[in-house]
Amino acid sequence: MKMMRAIGWTFCVGGLALGLASPASAQDASVPGTTADVPNEALAQLPGDTVFDGDYLTVGLGAAYGASYSGSDDYIVSVLPLVQGSIGDVDLNPRPAGLALDFIPDTATGPNFSLGVVARLNRDRVNRIKDEVVAAYGELDTAIEVGPTAGISFPRLLNPFDSLSFNVDLGWDVLGAHNGMTIAPSISYFTPVSRAAAVSLSLSTKYVDDDYAQYYYSVPAANPAVPLQSLPAFDAGGGFEDVGVNLLVGYDLSGDVTDGGLALVGIGGYSRLLGDAKRTPFTSIRGDADQWFVAVGIGYTFGL
């Protein structure tokens, strides 16, 4: 199970902006009526010795094209680093601009549980605001959101290699920027399509409290910096911030994901802002509630 979970996260090189799947252990590769019917060479029984059997580390880099702030209709390119791996009984899993530690070892058969801590860097509207009117309202401070994470994954639903995973992250700002709380649940389905390639589909949403919403989405009643283009005052409250879907496609350049080395990944995503995140003038007047995201990345996996 540890190996297949690692393979799934390795394919998430660019998915640190997404936090995607946790695939399950492999059993018989010739189950009728599943993707294992693709010639046996495609989903052959995985070897006993792999780079994921012991401690390992994946490092990588991705480039993402997304909105300049939550609710913006201007898009920018960002560089995203990745660190992921397993050391002892602790798994290191990427999160959107962050990292999660899982302290529960996986079993061979599942279902498997995860429990640990997660930390995310939130730099929304900290800089690179392309809209001049929104920028005139000032840049915000960087937040670091830290809290518990928990999840469960179910292996072998449609074939011997796939997995359905449920996860929820909680975070509280520890730097005193928004001083709020977030709850981010997600559901992901992962399956390999060959010995070298895999896909993952993820659905997610995020709930934010009043402090968070007021910091990012409220508009003050007066702003002397933009007297001719000031936006109407808006007092934001908490609730569901958005709902989104992401598709990830990964490919191991050696043709065999179990030996580590270089892997490529591509991601496409769409989210829709909800509630006051949608109604704020930063979105409804100056931006767009529809948010798109694409990313490409490359990572290298090696044993420790």
Specify which of 14-18, 255-259, 272-276 reaches the highest per-range mean pLDDT.
272-276
Which pLDDT value is given to residue 113? 95
Convert the pLDDT of each residue in 93-128 to its tens digit.
988 889 999 999 887 677 999 999 999 999 999 999
Q: In CATH, what is the architecture of 2-303?
A: Beta Barrel (2.40)
- For residues 285 and 250, the answer to whether their CB atoms sit within 8 Å is no
Residue 138, pLDDT above cutoff 60:
yes
User: What average pLDDT does the structure give for the chain?
Assistant: 84
Q: List, in order, residues 6 or more apart from 48 with CB less than 8 Å away.
A: none
Measured in whole angstroms, the distance separating CA 55 from the mean position of its chain's CA atoms is 23
Single out the residue of 139, 198, 253, 267 nearest to residue 8, CA to CA: 198
Confidence of residue 42 (pLDDT cuts 50, 70, 90): very low
3-state secondary structure of 281: helix
Measured in whole angstroms, the distance separating CA 269 from the mean position of its chain's CA atoms is 10
108 token code pair: 């061979």
For the chain, domain boundaries: 2-303
Convert the pLDDT of each residue in 17-27 to its tens digit.
333 333 223 33
Q: What is the chain's Cα-based Rg? A: 21
**Which of 3-12, 54-63, 161-170, 237-246 is predicted with the least confidence, judged by mean pLDDT?**
3-12
